[in-house]
A and B are shown apart, each in its own frame.
Chain A
Amino acid sequence: MWKMKNPVKNPFLIILIFIFLLGTANAQEITQSEYYFVIQDNGNTIAGINLYGSGEISLPIQSDVEQVYVEGGLYMKENETITIAIGTTESATLIYQTSLLTSKTDDKWTFYAEMENQTEKTIMIALPSNVIIQEIDENAMIETGDFTKIYFNNTNPINFSYSFPSNAVIPSENSNSSSNPELNHSGISHHYSGSDSDTRNITFDLAEVLINISEGSKPIRIASSETVSYRIPIIACIVIGSVGVLLFVSLYFIKSARKRTISPRQVQILQTLTENESKIVKLLLENKEILRRSFIEKKLELAKSSLAATLNNLERKKIVEIDKTLTTHRIKLTDWFLKI
């Protein structure tokens, strides 16, 4: 027969009861939230939060936040925390502006936001349409369009990095130079303007942009898409020519490198030679062509008598051949030596 255990002595039952009590306690808490972070191109962030439920909640807030807008609840801002109490309204909103959620290193921006751990969170982050997301949590969902949206679900803290493209063109006001956006050497000048549709239609050839940038430090003008289209064949020819030259040079160096290689057998023979003999053979191997006697004499700084004796020895060993038909004798390696 099963015997009922004393519940007081059973820790498992006590834990179960405790969990049940915790659940009932949380029944009247703030349990859900929606976070919206709208990041502007200058790094400022406008944060908007919807809170659902009744009770009290403490949210981390940045030190530069001057004004908070709370609806549907009572609140107190102390240091870097805001405490919100919600009663029968059962929902509250919080809005604030901060520049401390983003930081910039060189051209890379980093967004970092810590949130409370009390609620089930849905998070939406909006960024300008031209941003390039670099490092981000794999669970994030990115949506592009008029602006970039990133969605997170219950992720805390939020941390990702992004950048703006170096050839990006940012619209400004009160200008009609839609076909002549200007770049200065440090980056993008915000002199482009026009409607949204204009912005979408303007395209640049990256090669043209790079060529113009390399011209010097003086302010340069980027041609519009129409001008660019005329120059495309010329640029293509230059690019193909450059690639051809690079290939030729590469092949030449590869061939030269191969020529310079000495076979193990040649190395063994070289080890048997005297110092002067070895020097002459190495010089002939490096140049791989017929050398004049005077050139060898000058190059190796050998005395005429010494050179003559050494060359005779090498000829005797069938390593070099000496052509004595002309006044200046010509020396080359024998076919036998080159083949081994």
Chain B
Amino acid sequence: MTNKTYKIKNAFLILLIWILLINNVFTIASQDISLDDLAPKSRICDINTVYEDAKLMSDEEKQCELEYFKKELELSNKTSIENKTLEILVQKKAGEKDNLIKIMNLTRLNYEEHREKTILELFVIKKRFIEKFYEYSKKDLKNKEDVKMQINKYISMVDKQQKARLNISDASIKKLYTDKNSDDFIRTMLPS
């Protein structure tokens, strides 16, 4: 091997070592930045935050999501959301984002103390109905009040765990034919 060839080989090796060193420095620097992103102080939970499994969330993640839903449902500090409900909401956010937004809007129409129950119940109702119901509520103030009244009445019925059934009997029909008071008859028909 000649002296000239030896010098070229050494220069090439030194250059290679330099490239590797610079690469390492950049890699370490970029890792520092991503760690900064994951720090609790910079966590932001919104409608786009998605978790594959809500049950595997860390305490910090749960807390973040809890704050997000409390804010969306306009819940004060005195009202909280149960862990089980939170997990369901996080799952819905991952799978039914649009439906969740509409349901949260409808839920806000009910009283604060009933909102947790309301949001869960509205997820049982078919999506296509929620969509129409939401559009109907947005139309005007009268519709909004109607929807508010309906949701409140519906949740009261759910709370009672009572099946809706007409109170109709031969005696009530006979009474209608005697006194001709249809308003009174309708009142007696309504489920108690």
Binding site for B on A (CB under 8 A): 34, 36, 38, 40-41, 44, 46, 48-50, 54-56, 69-76, 83, 85, 87-93, 95, 97, 126, 128-129, 145-147, 171, 196
Give the distance in Å from the alpha carbon of A171 to the alpha carbon of B177 in the complex. 10
What residues of A have a CB within 8 angstroms of the CB of B150 in the complex?
A: 70, 74-75
What residues of B have a CB within 8 angstroms of the CB of A71 in the complex?
A: 153, 157, 164, 190-191
Give the distance in Å from the alpha carbon of A46 to the alpha carbon of B181 in the complex. 11
The verdict on B163 contacting chain A, using a C-beta distance below 8 Å, is yes
Partner of A88, one of B136, B158, B170, B174: B158
Instruction: Say yes or no: B165 contacts A38, CB within 8 Å.
Output: no
What residues of A have a CB within 8 angstroms of the CB of B151 in the complex?
A: 74
What residues of A have a CB within 8 angstroms of the CB of B189 in the complex?
A: 46, 48, 93, 95
Instruction: Say yes or no: B128 contacts A56, CB within 8 Å.
Output: yes
**What secondary structure prevails in chain A residues at the interface with B?**
strand
Instruction: Say yes or no: B158 contacts A40, CB within 8 Å.
Output: no
Instruction: Say yes or no: A46 contacts B133, CB within 8 Å.
Output: no
Partner of A54, one of B124, B128, B153: B124
- For chain B, give the interface size range: 20 to 34
Shortest Cβ gap from B173 to chain A (Å): 5
**What secondary structure prevails in chain B residues at the interface with A?**
helix
Q: Which of B142-192 contact A (CB under 8 A)?
A: 150-151, 153-154, 157-158, 163-166, 168, 170, 173-174, 176-178, 180, 182, 185-186, 189-191
Shortest Cβ gap from B184 to chain A (Å): 11
Among B122, B129, B176, B178, the one with the most A-chain Cβ atoms within 10 Å of its Cβ is B129
The verdict on B126 contacting chain A, using a C-beta distance below 8 Å, is yes
What residues of A have a CB within 8 angstroms of the CB of B125 in the complex?
A: 56, 74, 85, 87
Give the distance in Å from the alpha carbon of A145 to the alpha carbon of B153 in the complex. 38
